Chain A
Amino acid sequence: MWLALRFPNWALDFRGAAAEQPTLVVETTAQRQHVVAASQTALEHGVRRGMGLADARIRSPAVVVHDRSRAGETAALARLAGWAWRYSSQIHCAVADPNIQDARLIFEIGASLRLFGGRQRLLKAIRDDLKVLGYRYRAGLGETPQAALAFSRARRRVSDLAELPLASLSLDPTTRATLEASGFRRAGELLALPPAALARRFGPELLAFLEQLAGRRPHGLALFERPERYQTHHELFGAVENVQGLIFVLHRVFTELAIFLRGADSAIQTLRLSLVHEHRATTEITLRLSAPSRDARHLERVACERLERITLTAPVLEIGLLSDRLRPAEHAQGALWQQNDRSAGAPWPVVLDRLRARLGHEGVVWLDSPADHRPEYASTERDSEPRPHQAANGNGDTLPRPMWLIDPPEPISAQALGNMNWLSGPERIESGWWDQGQRRDYYRALDARGRLLWLFRDLNSGDASSRYFLHGLFG
């Protein structure tokens, strides 16, 4: 017996957001943006899949729109397939293709019925898991994977294979159109036709499909293989700017890891957490446990602990996880979560201490010189290695800039100004109007003690007496 789970709004749901706000995922084909997935609220506003974006906006004006990420969908579905290991060893998964517009996961459950105490209990366990994950799905049960999928696609509840409407079968669109135009409506009518007549019109594919549907031929679907490592990327909804937000998001990431590890009955020891930023180098955090574990919640705690101690260099757009080789779990740990972590006695603070000892806080700071005309911004400290910049000037002249910047610049008294020996300037720097705008005239001058100074006059300051500042010393 096969169970088919079909995820009509996978393109949205795989991201795991249960936002209140109406949300859409759109795809652009042939210059046209159309909806491929919609949140529940958007559906309630009358948005439908396949609808043009303009149409959808009419129905749900405040809708938030995301672009489709096929790679993300595939990766998330593979994670889900990992979960299904718990129930089956024969798993097929596929994302939307031209014949079937939905992501689906089909697996054999006949062999596990006894293990789980019968069909009802098995299905309940599956339902409960899916509830935790929050995916919207349609389920169908059938004797073959093709039949199970067709039952999950039938709009009305049918019990008999022959009663399945044509539209529920995974047929090539042209074939289906021709069959419909010839007046056929149900699977039974097709199964009753002379095979030769069908083959002549539609080639061997249709015959093969019908035989697979009826179980007269092996299903021929590619089965999912357990991966060597756990590797995923989670695109976030918008950028996450602070650690608190990140910890919130991580909960879901680790929930999926937990479900996967339990399904695959595997443990891991090392996990690399990557935080991907826009225009900045990825922040990478390696979590290493003292022993392999399948307790993802524990890993989550370790990760959070680490995160609380770092400063984000930039908003996070994407989170990646990469484990070391999956290894068989050595002891059962029961339910999805350790319901009561502390009483379960997991010695996580101890592990954490070890981790701290091993990794520590590197007091390393990288110096960076981004291309910015404003001196303060042209020299910054970062706690991750910056990407090499294009040399700002090519083979051009070096900018006359002192090694030593005085931060913040110090006002210069009128008396000191009077004793300056002005060497060059002004160099006018006006930039950054989009955030901290500056307007300054810079000069090089020798002061009474013979030091070579870098001074500026603030053109924005109205007060003549406090307009000059010392900004640097040439070495």
Chain B
Amino acid sequence: MRNHFNAHEVDYSELCCVSNFSFHRGASSPEELFDRAAQLGYRALAITDECSLAGAVRALKASEETGPRLILGSRFALDDGPVMVVLARNADGYTQLCRLITKARTATRKGRYRVTCTDLDALDDCWLLVLPDYGRPPDPTLHALLGWMAVRYPRQSRIALALHRGPHDLLHVKRLNSLRLRYGLPIVAVGDVHMHRRSRRALQDVFTALRLGTTVQNAGHALAANGERYLRPRRVIGRLYPPDAIAETRRIADACDFKLRDIRYDYPAENIPPGHTSSSFLRAEVKKGYVSRGLKGSSWAIRRQLMYEIRVIERLGYPHYFLTVYAIVCHARSRGILCQGRGSSANSIVCYCLQITEVDPIRRELLFERFISEERAEPPDIDVDFEHERREEVIQHIYRTYGRSRAALAATVIRYRPRSAMRDVGRAMGLSVDQIDTLAGELSRRADDGTLPEQLAARGVRLDARLLHQILVLVDTLIGFPRHLSQHVGGFVLSDKPLEMLVPVENAAMPDRTIIQWDKDDLEAVGLMKIDILALGMLTCIRRCFDLIAGYTGYLWRMSTLPSGDPETYRMIQRADTVGVFQIESRAQMTMLPRLKPKRFFDLVVEVAIVRPGPIQGGMVHPYLKARDQKPEDIEYPSEALRGVLERTLGVPIFQEQVMKIAMVAAGFDGNEANGLRKSMAAWKREGGLEPWRERLKSGMRERGYDEDFADRIFEQIKGFGSYGFPESHAISFALLVYVSAYLKCHYPAAFAAALLNSQPMGFYQPAQLVRDARRHGVEVRAADVRYSHADCTLESEPGEAASSNVRPALRLGLRLVKGLSPEAASRISAARASQAFASVPDLVARARLDRRARDALARADALAGLAGHRHRAQWQIAATEVHDDLFAHVDVPEAEVTLAEPTEAADIVADYHSTGLTLRRHPVALLRPDLARAGAVTAAAFNRLDHGANAHVAGIVTMRQRPGSAKGVTFLTLEDESGTVNVIVRREVLATYRIAVLSARLLRIVGVMQRAGQVRHCLAHEIVDETHRLGSLVTRSRDFH
């Protein structure tokens, strides 16, 4: 019976189609689906992801680019019931749909949803399409549902017919027909589409297997019997479906006229006091700040800039946005939480007046290149960093102020990367975990050159060549697919109306966090506002440092009151004496400092931005250093127009903004195009797609008379920037923290070191290195001691010394460094001591209620030395001391004196490292010095005096290993001995020989050559000896490959 209903192309729209935002179900992206729908001449395409609108904005963009109209809807597997598709008819229907999804998603844990019939009660502006199960007679649940729908939504309910050339197609049509007659609900034709083309079928099977936690081989009938669930040509549709069902589909498609662009978002209104408009209040608050910041009487240029900014903000309708950020910042300030804004809008005079940023535009001599781009419809961008340990307080405040319904985090779409793609495909294809790991490892090492099966076989993984090929193709397709929604690091979306009226909200993995289903780019496209509430360890450190300084000088610094342009601070920075300083403490930054020699604030901005993979890979560093040695008039610019863009950075593009500006000035891009270029720059490593820009850029530059060579170079630089290009607007804010932390380190080394230690873990260095650095700067560091230490590190100055800035306080290590001692126990100790000093070990144990773990921890840290003598004695004594409610409390046995050997110096050093990670005794390498000297190694200090090219022989504890992607296979090591540190370069060919030693040794001896360029010294390794055995049981820590 091959009777076809209709052999010509029918007018068709697809009402039921999932994209790959239905995780582990849809096998094509919204873009692919729309492309294909356009080719096939579909009138409209509904994206009905499973209980989700996460792909909606992408679908909208795809629809606008390709033609077919977007219908928004969602698909639900009802609890114990059939599949239901809900389509939004209009804006109210859209809100009803968002509410339904929100309710279903928040009713259960992350990644799941739950919809029952009763949840469908408020969908008066939606279409409801029921898909009865195929190959199964209607069950009572279906009858009940249809019966209810026929009464509740007689006009909006439809029975959806999906045909895929299965074994029961005729029967299915018959059954649906009888349902139609029984309930009076029309039948619509749908494709129940899961992929844009048949070829995605294998991937769809993989998804099915993953969803069911099995393999494709074992999934059996859970897999689709064929690959018909793709976007089928209209001719096929016409042949397959009854004409009245197709006609009904057309009617429904035409009756959906909701446009996502029409949703209206409003900023929260509560930050404006009665009697004010948002503009008048913004102006009033800015004026207040203008006075309190001491800008009164500043230059005309400043005033003009301020007025310009306010006008732009008003014209674009952003006063609410600035006031919302202002309100959050004000709250943080009232709680003494340090914060600092960054981003293109943050470094404005308005933000300076509103105290969102501490970057003083006048003192810092900054130019405002880009405030808010008027030609782009891009919302303003302010990120605010808060102290990392107190950000949660700010977040809780936001939830309290706006309520959970009006505040949620933006989502981040986590996408498949090569490794995760391999893991999932491997799992679905029945590979073992070890096979998957091996395969992933081999793939990351090399491109498939055809020898992969042999390479794998050599490693014990035998795979059939065909299977392997299939796996590789699947992995390749899967990479870049969305995998799940995660929470954005700190991007809050705040709204005047409940958020669920605009976008579905779901649970995040963290308890008490909710996320909306759209990510950052989606928000931008539909004009929602987000504020980034971020955490920054250095702010914690700076605030603690201010507090510590105030503790002994009585003077409370603020970031804005620290003297700017302090020459002593800059001299310290030029020496690369920057352990602990924000950003410029890394090895790469430290080798750059003596070459760049920062002298003023803008140099720090450059320093922050230039030591990044982007500029390094783009080859900007050397030209910039060279230009710094030239006279300004000798620097050549390709054109006068570009001089304007590049003059501040001596002709070399360093900031992301400059690259965009070049595209605009030299190639005639408009603002939106430049923004598109920026986004492609961020994504090309992942997705490719930079080539169209190359053509566009080069032709634009040709037209404006730039030579081919220059155009190529600019393009390469753009590529090099990749996702690492650093915006100046962020670099400026970071540079301020660089300056502040450097100033504190320079003038208050003890307070700075204490603040850093109290904010651990953060930054590049371990406590041992921070303490050693403080001591090198003349800070007296005192050991942790139950008689004097608090939980945190503290400053001790001699009693009677007048509180003044000339005091050089000592740094007392805190009990927080003692491994195994809980913070509660530490604070009980200082609390008990506050009332009365401890008389003895039993007195300490009794009054501070120390359990066994705490007692052992203190003894091993040597923190009992003042009460009990050397470590061994302390341990022996404290092991016998019990708290009162313990078993032996009443037994005060007089005990025979046991003779305990005094620990050797080496044993003490080992124990110090074990317990606190650092020692105030000799450096461990000092003890090994005679042996190392016999082997021929000299100290780091002696090494650093060598001339360039001299033979070198050093040894030390490995404190850092790095292999920057930009360094062509070179590995960097930092070795530390009693006199200082040595930076070692291990070339690729040397690494091959000494791989294990380089990767895992803790004490290394290196024979090599001194490489010296001014203040920058490296030891180029030729021969590497693992000397770890000499350390015995000493535990050392290294920062490896971060």
Residue A177 lies at the interface, judged by CB distance under 8 Å to chain B: yes
Residue A344 lies at the interface, judged by CB distance under 8 Å to chain B: no
State which of A3-11, A122-130, A332-340, A423-431 sits at the interface with chain B.
A423-431
Closest A residue to B171 by beta carbon equals: A397
A178-B856, A427-B167 known; A200+B880 contact, CB < 8 A: yes
Residues of A within 8 A of B896 (CB): 194, 197
Residues of B within 8 A of A279 (CB): 218
State which of A54-62, A282-290, A411-419, A465-473 sits at the interface with chain B.
A54-62
Closest A residue to B856 by beta carbon equals: A178
Residue B475 lies at the interface, judged by CB distance under 8 Å to chain A: no
State which of A86-94, A104-112, A366-374, A380-388 sits at the interface with chain B.
A366-374
Residues of B within 8 A of A200 (CB): 880, 888, 891, 893, 895
Residue A363 lies at the interface, judged by CB distance under 8 Å to chain B: no
Do A393 and B1000 have beta carbons less than 8 Å apart?
Answer: no
Residues of A within 8 A of B223 (CB): 373, 431
Do B217 and A434 have beta carbons less than 8 Å apart?
Answer: yes
Closest A residue to B3 by beta carbon equals: A422
Do B221 and A177 have beta carbons less than 8 Å apart?
Answer: no
Residue A408 lies at the interface, judged by CB distance under 8 Å to chain B: no
Residues of B within 8 A of A182 (CB): 872-873, 875-876, 879, 900
Residues of A within 8 A of B317 (CB): none
Bound complex: CA A193 to CA B879 (Å): 15
Number of A-B contacts (CB under 8 A): 134
Residue B151 lies at the interface, judged by CB distance under 8 Å to chain A: no
Do A422 and B856 have beta carbons less than 8 Å apart?
Answer: no
Residues of B within 8 A of A193 (CB): 898
Name B903-939 residues within 8 Å CB distance of A.
Answer: 903, 911
Residue A379 lies at the interface, judged by CB distance under 8 Å to chain B: no
A181-B875, A182-B876 known; A371+B220 contact, CB < 8 A: yes
A64-B434, A399-B167, A400-B167 known; A196+B898 contact, CB < 8 A: no
A394-B136, A395-B136, A441-B165 known; A424+B205 contact, CB < 8 A: no
Bound complex: CA A429 to CA B459 (Å): 38
Which of A181, A194, A424, A439 has the most C-beta atoms of chain B within 10 angstroms of its own C-beta? A181
Closest A residue to B882 by beta carbon equals: A200
Residue A117 lies at the interface, judged by CB distance under 8 Å to chain B: no
Residue A183 lies at the interface, judged by CB distance under 8 Å to chain B: yes
Closest A residue to B455 by beta carbon equals: A62
Nearest-Cβ distance from residue A423 to partner chain B, whole angstroms: 6
Residue B66 lies at the interface, judged by CB distance under 8 Å to chain A: no
Do A423 and B1 have beta carbons less than 8 Å apart?
Answer: yes
Residue B2 lies at the interface, judged by CB distance under 8 Å to chain A: yes
Residue B118 lies at the interface, judged by CB distance under 8 Å to chain A: no
Residue A349 lies at the interface, judged by CB distance under 8 Å to chain B: no
A200-B888, A371-B220 known; A426+B168 contact, CB < 8 A: no
Residue A98 lies at the interface, judged by CB distance under 8 Å to chain B: no
A181-B911, A428-B225 known; A434+B429 contact, CB < 8 A: yes
Residues of B within 8 A of A425 (CB): 1-2
Residue B100 lies at the interface, judged by CB distance under 8 Å to chain A: no
Residues of A within 8 A of B873 (CB): 182
Which of B164, B217, B225, B226 has the most C-beta atoms of chain A within 10 angstroms of its own C-beta? B226
Residues of B within 8 A of A373 (CB): 221, 223, 225-226
Name A31-49 residues within 8 Å CB distance of B.
Answer: 45-46
A181-B859, A197-B898 known; A422+B2 contact, CB < 8 A: yes
Closest A residue to B852 by beta carbon equals: A174
Bound complex: CA A200 to CA B887 (Å): 10
Per-position 1/0 for B118-139, Cβ under 8 A of A: 0000000000000001011100
Per-position 1/0 for A173-206, Cβ under 8 A of B: 0100110011100000000011011001110000
Nearest-Cβ distance from residue A195 to partner chain B, whole angstroms: 11
Per-position 1/0 for A329-354, Cβ under 8 A of B: 00000000000000000000000000
Nearest-Cβ distance from residue A434 to partner chain B, whole angstroms: 5
Residue B201 lies at the interface, judged by CB distance under 8 Å to chain A: yes
Do A434 and B467 have beta carbons less than 8 Å apart?
Answer: yes
Residue A461 lies at the interface, judged by CB distance under 8 Å to chain B: no
Bound complex: CA A471 to CA B872 (Å): 87
Nearest-Cβ distance from residue B822 to partner chain A, whole angstroms: 17
Bound complex: CA A470 to CA B35 (Å): 40
Residue B227 lies at the interface, judged by CB distance under 8 Å to chain A: yes
Closest A residue to B461 by beta carbon equals: A64
A397-B168, A428-B226 known; A392+B470 contact, CB < 8 A: no
A58-B999, A58-B1000, A178-B856 known; A393+B221 contact, CB < 8 A: yes
B136, B216, B859, B995: the one within 8 Å of A397 (CB):
B136
Residues of A within 8 A of B470 (CB): 433-434
Nearest-Cβ distance from residue B233 to partner chain A, whole angstroms: 15
Bound complex: CA A399 to CA B136 (Å): 11
Per-position 1/0 for B151-171, Cβ under 8 A of A: 000000000000011111111
Do A433 and B856 have beta carbons less than 8 Å apart?
Answer: no
19 A-B residue pairings within 8 Å (CB atoms): A21-B460, A55-B1000, A58-B996, A65-B434, A174-B856, A182-B875, A183-B900, A196-B895, A197-B898, A200-B888, A397-B136, A428-B165, A428-B226, A431-B225, A431-B226, A433-B202, A433-B470, A434-B202, A441-B165
**Closest 4 CB pairs between A and B?**
A371-B220, A183-B872, A428-B165, A430-B226
Chain A contacts to B: CB under 8 angstroms: 21, 45-46, 55, 58-59, 61-62, 64-65, 174, 177-178, 181-183, 193-194, 196-197, 200-202, 279, 370-373, 392-397, 399-400, 422-431, 433-435, 439, 441-442
Known: A182-B900, A194-B898, A434-B467. 7 other contacts (CB 8 A): A55-B1000, A58-B999, A62-B459, A183-B903, A193-B898, A400-B167, A422-B1
